[in-house]
Structure 1
Amino acid sequence: MDRFLAFSMQELPFVVITLIVAFTFHEFAHAYVAYKFGDDTAKDQGRLTLNPVHHLDPIGTILILIAGFGWARPVPVNRRNFQNPRLAGILVSLAGPLSNFLIAAIAYGILFFFVGAGMPPFFIDLLNMMVWLNVVLFVFNLLPLPPLDGYRIIEDLAPPAVRVKLTKYEQYGTLIFLIIVITPLYQYTIQPIFSIVLPSVIQGFNTIFMTLFG
């Protein structure tokens, strides 16, 4: 069975729990920030909730277990409801990845304070997965490739004329993204980013907690 999955059977329960939490908070964060800036679209469609059923995409969830990458249901956002569309758009896009960063930091903090206090191995493994997978989602979603949040941030930072051109070619960007992710190009493009950034983020957690509480 393991050969059909991106994770081992031992890891699978921790991955499933982590994905449910990570995807739910990620999409809720998008919806909440959009709502706070005046866009009721997500709220009206039942997305301003922490109920995972409203956020998980069955195919996207299954794919991440099999192929190692996937997606949740994107939160609908109507930029015309924002008083300052560019600023609000950036903050809405940032909200999802930052929610994953926060979950990773909280999980790391729990491990830092309680890992030596008789915590059951199940919870240690779960928290380690929470840290690792949420950092992965944080970094991955900030890549400047459509349809990721990093691309949406670049769109909002770009001048209007550049934004129009980006939108025009966005459909091809999505195809390029898929080619990069599912072909050997991944190990020469995205994988080097993860091999550098992921350890740096986790080491950053360690440095901060050791400095403040060590």
Structure 2
Amino acid sequence: MTTAPTRRDRRISPVFLGIAAVTAVSGWAVWTRFSASTGFAVFLFVTSAWVVSLCLHEYAHARTALHGGDISVGARGYLTLNPLKYTHPLLSIVLPVIFVVMGGIGLPGGAVYIERGRVRGRWKHSLISAAGPLTNVLFALVCTAPFWLGATDGVPGPFLYALGFLALLQVTAAILNFLPVPGLDGYGVIEPWLSYKIRRQVEPLAPFGLLLVFALLWIPEVGGAFFDAVDAVLRGLGVDDWRTGLEYYRFWDGDPDPARVSP
């Protein structure tokens, strides 16, 4: 019999605390330029912060499900923020990190198992699905706060570029996750409002939804329109240049030319 989460079920995992510590220390290294390679420090900072955001994304799903009636999330370890507790750590953590390294795009995760039968009410089901990508939206707002608040004076250039690239990951993850495609959170938002017949017809497509999205992004016109939309959102948040952040992140290609990068 499943019981309500205990204090132990809610205790933050040392694994998550370790990742958060790497984020803090590498962020300090970027700010102070402590590392001999600023790019390597940016790589550690952005990667660890990205993993933190992925953990928060999954936590938001689980926490909302808990308040919706699914008390099983506590016993599964989802409330500890431990990425190793996810049903598919490969999908939620490893693949998103690989995609960032390869191409600089925020891959949607999604690997917490919710016992939907415990949740009553269509609005609750929709909110559970929306909670994850809304966390990415909030993370993007936090990353871009120095830009839209006009508080960039005195902030080292590499740190700003790192924040801009991290914001790109959050925006792409939020947009992709909110697409109403089977297998993504956007479809989970509208699914409770669809007829039983439509849900049964669409259900077999869920395992292939993300693959379909990325196949479409390989089409130049579609991919171009997508990144135009991402650029428009980032410009609205005050970020005009995330590409230099990507150049810093890919430190194995060499740090950007300091002559064209503001201090």
Fold conserved between structures, TM > 0.5: yes
The TM-score with structure 2 as length reference comes to 0.63
Output the CA distance in 2 between the equivalents of 1:185 and 1:104.
Answer: 25
**Runs (5+) with no aligned partner, structure 1:** 1-7, 207-214
Output the CA distance in 2 between the equivalents of 1:158 and 1:102.
Answer: 28
Output the CA distance in 2 between the equivalents of 1:12 and 1:78.
Answer: 37
- The answer to whether structure 1 residue 170 and structure 2 residue 201 are counterparts is no
The TM-score with structure 1 as length reference comes to 0.75
Secondary structure of the structure 2 residue equivalent to 1:175: helix
Alignment of 1:1-214 (within 5 A): 12-54=43-85, 56-57=89-90, 59-64=94-99, 65-66=101-102, 68=105, 70=107, 72=109, 74-84=111-121, 86-111=122-147, 112-116=149-153, 118-167=154-203, 169-171=204-206, 174-175=207-208, 177-182=210-215, 185-196=218-229, 198-206=230-238
Output the CA distance in 2 between the equivalents of 1:53 and 1:10.
Answer: 25
Aligned to 1:211: none
Structure 1 residue 106 displacement after superposition: 1.5
User: 1:143, 1:151 within 8 Å by CA — same for their partners in 2?
Assistant: yes
The alignment's C-alpha RMSD in Å is: 2.8
Structure 1 residue 122 displacement after superposition: 4.0
Report the CA distance shift for 1:179/1:102 in structure 2 as closer, same or farther (over 3 A): closer
Secondary structure of the structure 2 residue equivalent to 1:114: coil
Structure 1 residue 113 displacement after superposition: 4.4
Alignment size in residue pairs: 193
Find runs of 4+ consecutive structure 1 residues off by over 6 angstroms. Answer: none
Structure 1 residue 191 displacement after superposition: 4.4
Report the CA distance shift for 1:83/1:154 in structure 2 as closer, same or farther (over 3 A): closer
Report the CA distance shift for 1:138/1:62 in structure 2 as closer, same or farther (over 3 A): closer
User: 2:55, 2:81 within 8 Å by CA — same for their partners in 1?
Assistant: yes
Q: Percent identity?
A: 26
Aligned to 1:3: none
Structure 1 residue 183 displacement after superposition: 7.2
**Which amino acid in structure 2 is aligned with residue 202 of structure 1?**
L
Q: Which moved more, 1:141-150 or 1:75-84?
A: 141-150
**Which amino acid in structure 2 is aligned with residue 163 of structure 1?**
R
Output the CA distance in 2 between the equivalents of 1:10 and 1:179.
Answer: 34
Output the CA distance in 1 between the equivalents of 2:209 and 2:138.
Answer: 30
Output the CA distance in 1 between the equivalents of 2:165 and 2:45.
Answer: 6
Aligned to 2:6: none
Secondary structure of the structure 1 residue equivalent to 2:78: coil
Output the CA distance in 2 between the equivalents of 1:93 and 1:184.
Answer: 23
Structure 1 residue 53 displacement after superposition: 4.4
Aligned to 2:252: none
Give per-residue Cα distances to partners, 1:85-142, cap 9 Å, x unaligned: x2211101110111000111112113434310x2233432332123211111110111
Report the CA distance shift for 1:177/1:26 in structure 2 as closer, same or farther (over 3 A): closer
